[in-house]
Amino acid sequence: MSEETKHLQTEGISRRSVFGAAALASLVASQAADASPAEEPKAFAPLPSFKFDIENQTGWVGEAGSAKEATAAEFPISQSIAGVSMRLKPGAIRELHWHSLAAEWAYMLEGRCRATVISPNGQSEITDFGPGDTWYFPRGHGHLLQGLGPGECHFLLGFDNGHFSEYGTFSITDWIATTPPAVLSRVLGVPASALAQFPKKEVYIGPGKVPTEPIENFRDGQLQPTQSSHKYRLDMQPPKVFPGGREFIVSSKEFPIQTTLTAVRMDLQPGALRELHWHPHADEWQYYVRGRARVGIFGSHGRVRTEEFGPGHVGFVNQGYGHYIEQIGDEPTEVLILFNSGEFQEISLANWLGGNPVSILQDNFGIPKSLADQLPKRETGILARKA
């Protein structure tokens, strides 16, 4: 059994056939893209769809909250990143749990929630999140989320493994319900008769009381609070400003605990264009919060594909694939983006053109110097609406 298969079975993902036909097709396509021209002629599978409507799913719905997933089972092209749109009612808890397969990132879209998280060094953290705040829980760190009200909170979760499933994680109630009572009684230090009061199965998302302010203390008064917070206030950061928009970016440089993902909030003004570029070492996963956009990807061998995105849609661009994002519509567009690396890397077409002698561009394109001289020399990032 491969390591990957073991992991899949560990987190209950074997319940679904994750390597569906579409996933295989995308693997074949990505391998084909790496083939050298010497190996031609060969049929190259067209680029698969890179769009998924996560908010249009039913997902998991309970009295205290809901969750909609985009994992490799629903969105086969995204083998490296999974996402969940989760909502919690005031007081509701996403119970104590951990993920064996993936680190968890989140961006708070609306409302407020509280998290508790324990690190392997025994340090613990209790902290609150509001709109524009992000968190990062390294793989295996035990955590819980609670809606603080007023009103429902809504957050986008991202995981650094497309085969992860939020519905198949390691929950405290599931563990307790399935451990022999004799063992449990000794470990918890309560009589076996008291165990009947615990849930008989996994709670997942359940009702709870809205916590009173201020934050309650740890049960263990001697416990050291965390010295490495899991919280980063993305929207409080001064953004990078471009002619057509702005970007807030958090990588491991800004948030050292976030070692496996980089997150970007990108705002595009009407008519803006995120120029041609690629990411040498990371896949790009997108969630459209508001507004619309048209994304074009280039997958070698003349293969291109364009999709239109709007609120609640998820997009995915394979590592190394060229792409652009064209803002459409009259309302500004806001996109949350994840890369599956803690280090951010990008190469822009404009910088590449600027990094070559003009005679090379003349020869490569077969164009006169007068035209080559007009080409950009340095990236703009996000171009403003055409005057």
Residue numbers at the binding site for Mn ion (CB under 5 A):
104, 284
Nearer to Mn ion, 184 or 264 (CB): 264
- The one catalytic residue among 87, 99, 274, 277: 99
| Residue (of 322, 288, 282, 334) closest to 308 by Cα position | 288
**Nearest-angstrom CA–CA distance, 362 and 179:** 72
Nearer to Mn ion, 296 or 329 (CB): 296
Return phi, psi of residue 40, to 5°.
-75, 160
- The one catalytic residue among 11, 95, 166, 275: 166
**Nearest-angstrom CA–CA distance, 380 and 99:** 39
We find the least distance from the C-beta atom of residue 256 to Mn ion, in angstroms, to be 21
The first and second tokens of residue 345, run together, are 């890397």
We find the least distance from the C-beta atom of residue 94 to Mn ion, in angstroms, to be 7
- The one catalytic residue among 87, 112, 114, 143: 143
We find the least distance from the C-beta atom of residue 335 to Mn ion, in angstroms, to be 10
Annotation marks residue 99 as catalytic: yes
Nearer to Mn ion, 104 or 334 (CB): 104
We find the least distance from the C-beta atom of residue 304 to Mn ion, in angstroms, to be 15
We find the least distance from the C-beta atom of residue 196 to Mn ion, in angstroms, to be 28
| Residue (of 102, 69, 82) closest to 259 by Cα position | 102
Nearer to Mn ion, 293 or 361 (CB): 293
Annotation marks residue 97 as catalytic: yes
We find the least distance from the C-beta atom of residue 373 to Mn ion, in angstroms, to be 28
Helix, strand, or coil here: 370?
Answer: helix
Nearer to Mn ion, 104 or 202 (CB): 104
How do 273-278 and 382-383 pair as beta strands? antiparallel
Nearer to Mn ion, 285 or 361 (CB): 285
- The one catalytic residue among 94, 112, 292, 313: 94
Residues near 294 by beta carbon (within 8 Å), at least 6 away in sequence: 306, 307, 308, 309, 325, 326, 328
Return phi, psi of residue 133, to 5°.
-90, 150
Half-sphere exposure of 342 (CA within 13 A, CB side): 13
Annotation marks residue 143 as catalytic: yes
Is residue 176 within 8 Å of residue 31, measured between CB atoms? no
Give strand pairing partners of 339.
262, 284
The first and second tokens of residue 326, run together, are 């064209």
Annotation marks residue 301 as catalytic: no
- The one catalytic residue among 69, 87, 95, 97: 97
- The one catalytic residue among 11, 69, 95, 104: 104
CA-based end-to-end distance of the chain:
59
| Residue (of 265, 282, 268, 287) closest to 321 by Cα position | 282
Instruction: Please work out, in degrees rounded to the nearest 5, the angle formed at the alpha carbon of residue 260 by the alpha carbons of 241 and 166.
Output: 105
Active site residues: 94, 97, 99, 104, 143, 166
